[in-house]
Structure 1
Amino acid sequence: MSEASLIASRVDEQAEIMRRIEEDIIFGRLAPGSRLVEDTLMARYEASRHYVRQALVQLERTGIVRREKNVGATVRSYSPEEVRQIYEVREMLTRQAALKIPLPAPKALVEQLRAIQADYARHAETGDLRGMHETNDAFHLVLFSGCGNPYLVQTLQDYMGLTLPMRAKNLADRDGLTLSLRQHEIMIELLQGTDSWALAQLCVDHMQYSKADYLERAAKGALCANASHGIAD
């Protein structure tokens, strides 16, 4: 194997470890607040310490892992107020990006979204969680690329990353997945019309299911914790 091939193989292996840890976090296999011990992760993913450590560094940058001195790495957990604040910013960015997409949208953009949507539906049919997660994100990034402002799209992508633990879990939920698929189809239809405000509102509404679900689960978790400690309302 050439040196270039060896380097490429190492990059691919490291990226795969990061994807596997990310997947276990966003689909709830590693719960919020869980410690991410390097030795445990090395055994879990049959990976070297270097690859695990680099993966944790990258995931810290996306916001779903927190690394603290004397504590180590943990799965990032969010308070209800943090969730509301993050979504508030994401909703503003989403609305602005959608309003900047010229309608009717270019045919090439619509066709690209249809192709991604077809892949998304196929992954949904087979229950491929990673495939659903990746094509769902691809759909939104391609959609928002139509706004013509790469800095706005990059900022949106950053906030999509922050909300991963809150939203991706719903792809494993049949009602959430069905709603996501249907709303994508309507977005494609609206792109071919002239109502920018309807498109923008749907894009904002699209993220409310996962936000509400996460806040509901957080509230139930708090109630259970209070009950276990004998705390009255």
Structure 2
Amino acid sequence: MSRASSLMPKALQADAAAPAEGDGADPGATMTRRIAEAITAAIVERRLMPGTKLAEQPIADIFKVSRTIVRQALMQLSRDRLITLEPARGAFVARPSVEEARQVFAVRQMLETAMVRQLARGITAEQVEELRAHLRAEASAVQRTDVPGRTRLLADFHIILARQLGNEVLAQLLVDLLSRSSLISLMYQSSHSAEHSQEGHVQIVDALARGDGDEAVRLMEAHISEVESNLRLHPRVADLAAALAPAAGP
């Protein structure tokens, strides 16, 4: 599965559960999924920036498939709001407005503060250790300036918290929100702001380990507000072939 699988939109997660190629899967559906996953990963990992045109023929050439297969993948991503389809112009990586960015972060504030308050009431030692292991992976990625790795891990932290509550509906809502956040914020983090995000995660886990729900809520509010305040929306147009070639394979 793609390195961005934990942030894969639910339409693609459903496809990913289908039989693998060679196990009775429709080859067209398999390639549709592969292309959609490759584009999702390229967006999350900063290889395709907001506003980049996703021309059908170049993508078809990269993956050696028909334009019909590419069109199906683009339609899936459009439903997940990762790309926009414009009549007579084609497909583009979504470019969220400032107002949409505010709304996404407002929803995250509501969901995630309630989430950590509930988790603080009953978090186990095993769950704390799971979070601390994740924090070590985050710190390593930030230290190495591993942009794709740190982007994925910093986002996955929030999904792990939801899954520790045993609430898969909440986890899926966060997957969707964080996929959109990747277009708004995570793609534009500097090493400095990524380091601050990682430090915020450490403080949240410390509060959860103490069972201090009020402090966990305060820290989560501050953390999401800081991420939002550090937005740097300066998109550049990437080369489509260079962004997708690693996933296309031989």
Please, what TM-score do these two structures have when normalized by structure 2? 0.72
* Between 27-36 and 201-210, the greater mean CA deviation after superposition: 27-36
Deviation digits for residues 133-180 of structure 1, max 9, x if unmatched?
Answer: 222222211112233433233222222222211122244x11111101
SS of the equivalent of 1:78 reads: coil
SS of the equivalent of 2:211 reads: coil
Aligned counterparts, 1:33-182, within 5 A: 33-43=51-61, 45-49=62-66, 52-103=70-121, 105-171=123-189, 173-182=190-199
Cα RMSD, aligned residues only: 3.2
Is the 8 Å Cα contact of residues 17 and 47 (structure 1) preserved in structure 2? no
**Percent identical:** 25
Is the 8 Å Cα contact of residues 34 and 74 (structure 1) preserved in structure 2? yes
Cα deviation, residue 41, structure 1: 2.6
Tell me: CA distance 1:186–1:9, structure 2 relative to 1, closer, same or farther (3 Å).
farther
Aligned residues, how many?
Answer: 216
* Between 82-91 and 66-75, the greater mean CA deviation after superposition: 66-75
Tell me: CA distance 1:122–1:20, structure 2 relative to 1, closer, same or farther (3 Å).
farther
Counterpart residue identity of residue 209, structure 2? Q
Counterpart residue identity of residue 212, structure 1? S
Is the 8 Å Cα contact of residues 99 and 196 (structure 1) preserved in structure 2? yes
Please, what TM-score do these two structures have when normalized by structure 1? 0.76
Is the 8 Å Cα contact of residues 83 and 91 (structure 2) preserved in structure 1? yes
Deviation digits for residues 45-98 of structure 1, max 9, x if unmatched?
Answer: 445346544442332233221124433211111221221122212211111212
CA distance in 2, matches of 1:65, 1:159: 14
Cα deviation, residue 106, structure 1: 0.7
Structure 2 partner of 1:221: none
1:212 aligns with 2:229: yes
> 5+ unaligned residues in a row in structure 1: which ranges?
219-233
Whichever of the two has the greater Rg, that structure is: 1
1:188 aligns with 2:202: no
> 5+ unaligned residues in a row in structure 2: which ranges?
1-20, 235-250
Structure 1 partner of 2:6: none
